[in-house]
Amino acid sequence: MTAPAQPAGHVVVIDDDEGMRASLDSLLRSAGHAVTTYAEPDAFLRAGPPAGPSCLLLDVRLGRIDGLDVQVALAESGLDLPVIIMTGHGDIPMAVRGMRAGAIDFLAKPLDDQALLSAVSRALAHHAPPPNDDECTADIRRRYDTLSDRERQVMALVVAGLMNKQIAGHLSLSLPAIKLHRAHVMRKMGAQSLADLVRLGERLAVRDLSISRYPNPA
């Protein structure tokens, strides 16, 4: 008799929407993951993280609770668990702050199934040290060096959490011009998503520190 396959990893979901929890549970289990869901973070913090490769899918709005506060509490408690933030489109600047606070990815609702499963796979592999890390950073720097001065300004403001319209106002440029510069930045940096670009920018420390519209949570 063939032994049952081991789960690919353990995914913890914290979302106060019962329907969302059920949907994520079904999708993740169909992909071979073990899943534990919570409606609120206190129950998870009491239970602690599961053993073995695991990650956390965390909604940024949990009723009256700020999901980023939960992320900070995890870090302060020493729980080394990769975090993927789930956010509404209006909360994307908030999710960028979460990336700066240590989240490894964020997903905008409504969630795309394939994007979610890809993000979970990356999160579960997060603890594996990247090969030739110094060489990887040097490659990112080489890509950054191909950007024009204006493209570097745009990238710094994107990584700081500003939306296209805000960047246009900050740089006194038209919105179409910003969209074009941003597309060039994404292509030259090899970023597949906004989360990728934020991660690359944080690695190179290119964020515009003069921008304080979205300060880090206390």
Tell me which residue of 96, 217, 205 sits closest to 160, measured CA to CA: 96
87-111: pLDDT as tens digits: 876 666 776 777 766 788 888 888 9
Tokens 């304080």 appear where? 212
Q: Is residue 161 located within the same domain as residue 90?
A: no
Q: Is residue 177 located within the same domain as residue 71?
A: no
Q: What is the CATH number of the domain that holds 162?
A: 1.10.10.10
Which residues is 12 bridged to in the sheet? 36, 56
Which distant-in-sequence residues (6+ apart) come within 8 Å of 172 by Cβ? Answer: none
48-66: pLDDT as tens digits: 778 778 899 998 888 777 7
Is the CB of residue 141 less than 8 Å from the CB of residue 204? yes
Q: Is residue 120 located within the same domain as residue 88?
A: yes
Tell me which residue of 160, 138, 154 sits closest to 204, measured CA to CA: 138
Please state the domain count of the chain: 2
| CA–CA gap between residue 17 and residue 22 (Å, rounded) | 9
| CA–CA gap between residue 47 and residue 152 (Å, rounded) | 44
**What pLDDT, on the 0 to 100 scale, is given for residue 32?**
92
Instruction: Point out the domain boundary residue: 78, 100, 124.
Output: 124
Question: Whole-prediction pTM value?
Answer: 0.63
174-213: pLDDT as tens digits: 999 999 999 999 999 998 777 778 878 878 888 766 664 4
Mean pLDDT of the chain: 81
Q: Is residue 102 located within the same domain as residue 30?
A: yes
Which distant-in-sequence residues (6+ apart) come within 8 Å of 58 by Cβ? Answer: 14, 67, 70, 71, 83, 84, 85, 86, 103
Q: Report yes or no on 3 lying in a domain.
A: no
Distances (CA, A) of 97 to 19, 81, 93, 165: 27, 18, 7, 18
Confidence of residue 2 (pLDDT cuts 50, 70, 90): very low
Kindly provide the residue ranges of all beta strands, DSSP E only, lying in the chain, ordered along the sequence. Answer: 10-14, 34-38, 54-59, 61-62, 65-66, 83-87, 105-108
Q: Report yes or no on 210 lying in a domain.
A: no
Q: Is residue 117 located within the same domain as residue 62?
A: yes
- Please report, rounded to a whole number, the percentage of residues in the chain having pLDDT higher than 90: 37
Domain of residue 162 covers 133-204
Instruction: Point out the domain boundary residue: 62, 97, 124.
Output: 124
Q: Is residue 50 located within the same domain as residue 116?
A: yes
Of 29-43, 112-126, 188-202, the least confident? 188-202
* DSSP 8-state assignment for residue 11: E
Pairing of strands 83-87, 61-62: unpaired
The residue-averaged pLDDT of 65-71 equals 78
Tell me which residue of 117, 124, 83 sits closest to 100, measured CA to CA: 83
Q: Is residue 90 located within the same domain as residue 19?
A: yes
Is the CB of residue 81 less than 8 Å from the CB of residue 38? no
Instruction: Point out the domain boundary residue: 74, 90, 124.
Output: 124
Q: Is residue 67 located within the same domain as residue 147?
A: no
Is the CB of residue 85 less than 8 Å from the CB of residue 103? yes
Evaluate if residue 4 carries a pLDDT over 50. Answer: no
Q: Is residue 15 located within the same domain as residue 89?
A: yes
